Chains A and B, each alone.
Chain A
Amino acid sequence: MIPPFIVSRSNHLAQGTYAEDVELVRRCLENDSAAISTLHVTYYRRMVEKLLYMRIPEPQAEDVVADVWSDLFTGRGDDGEPLLARYAGKSSLSHWLGRVVRNRLLDIRRRQSHQVNIEPSNERTFRVDVEHRDFQLKATIIKALKMAFDTCEPTAVVMLRLVYVHGVNQREVARVWGWHESKMSRYLSRSMAFIRDETMRRVQEVDPGLKVGWDDILSVCLHDDVNRMLDEGTPESIEASRPRLSMGVAQESRRGSSGGPEES
């Protein structure tokens, strides 16, 4: 008999671009041994290699993947829902599994970093400490993002907000600036690449040992009450590394302009 959560989850799986992945997952969730074997042959080693690429020693990478692999089918926590059931077909299965192992690695590292503070008689203090550190990590990410935008060209920020927040047609915005649409498209892409790289750099500056990927940063933006975090104090280490940077893009649009944005 198929557990109810498998039926309900399967019904919600997208039937789009990643239909083959979705179908494979559905069969795995129904304990189809051939499908599970295919999943193992296709992805298990890739998951290990994902961690090796992040410079994780192979024995540790194997442990992490083995841990994740078990949860893919048995789940964690009280509900017992297999982790695999969370795959919704919104990205390739390979990409999704890669994110799962990376997130698991981050979880393990966070737990390890907190374990040194555990005292048997002080569990409540430990829990508060973990929550505080997790909050601080997320606040650090958001602050780094905000500062990346501060160092970005004002024109780029205005255009990005017009297009992606206010929903203005990209062609119409380009026309105001007298640009061709393709030029603007390239400019916005380069600007977001700058934001990504600058944010990652600033996060790494705060904690060089921290392995935070861009997906983790996106996750914070998507799921957390980030505005509340912005009201918190900025970590000093980030504030200290706050020189205005030249983005190095769209110089063609800045004839006669030099350095950072000028105050009017």
Chain B
Amino acid sequence: MKRQEIKSILNAVFPIADDAVMAYSLHSGRPRPCGAATDPDLADLVDRLVKGGMSDVEREQACVRLLRDEHAMELLADRIRDGGTSVE
């Protein structure tokens, strides 16, 4: 399956929330986290996921929570892109 096809499918099934679209950064062209930053639980979850150390089960449970919040997905994407990993 081609990259663009997968992207189209995902965009169809998981439309980006309107406020997330509005929050696109003019500087980077990437969606910036807004809602997730105000939710300490989700922000903490993203931090712990990115920093590593979670078990497989914990990671899967974290994914279930993250999928419920588009902003959390954006936050996770940004944290990974910004090199927040320390798992080596």
Q: Which residues of A contact B (CB under 8 A)?
A: 142, 145-146, 149, 153-155, 157-158, 160-162, 164-169, 172-173, 175-178, 189, 192, 195-196, 218, 220-222, 226-227, 230, 253-257, 261-264
Task: Provide the residues of chain A in CB contact with B52, threshold 8 Å.
Answer: 176, 178
Task: Provide the residues of chain A in CB contact with B49, threshold 8 Å.
Answer: 176
Q: How would you classify the secondary structure of chain B's contact residues: helix, strand, loop or mixed?
A: helix
Determine the residue in chain B with the shortest Cβ distance to A159: B63
28 A–B contacts, CB within 8 A, in A order: A142-B13, A154-B64, A155-B63, A157-B67, A158-B66, A160-B10, A161-B14, A161-B73, A162-B76, A166-B73, A168-B80, A173-B80, A175-B87, A176-B49, A176-B80, A189-B1, A218-B5, A221-B12, A226-B12, A254-B57, A256-B55, A256-B56, A257-B56, A257-B60, A261-B60, A262-B57, A262-B60, A264-B62
Task: Provide the residues of chain A in CB contact with B66, threshold 8 Å.
Answer: 158
Query: How many angstroms from the CA of A175 to the CA of B73 in the assembled complex?
Result: 17
Given contacts A164-B3, A254-B60, A263-B64, contact A227 B15 (CB under 8 A): yes
Query: How many angstroms from the CA of A157 to the CA of B63 in the assembled complex?
Result: 8
Task: Provide the residues of chain B in CB contact with A264, threshold 8 Å.
Answer: 61-62, 64-65
- Residue pair A166, B60 in contact (C-beta under 8 Å): no
Task: Provide the residues of chain B in CB contact with A254, threshold 8 Å.
Answer: 56-57, 60
Task: Provide the residues of chain A in CB contact with B63, threshold 8 Å.
Answer: 154-155, 157-158, 261
Determine the residue in chain A with the shortest Cβ distance to B45: A264
| Cβ of B85 under 8 Å from chain A | yes
Shortest 8 CB-CB contacts between residues of A and residues of B: A166-B77, A154-B63, A221-B12, A226-B12, A158-B63, A264-B61, A221-B8, A227-B15
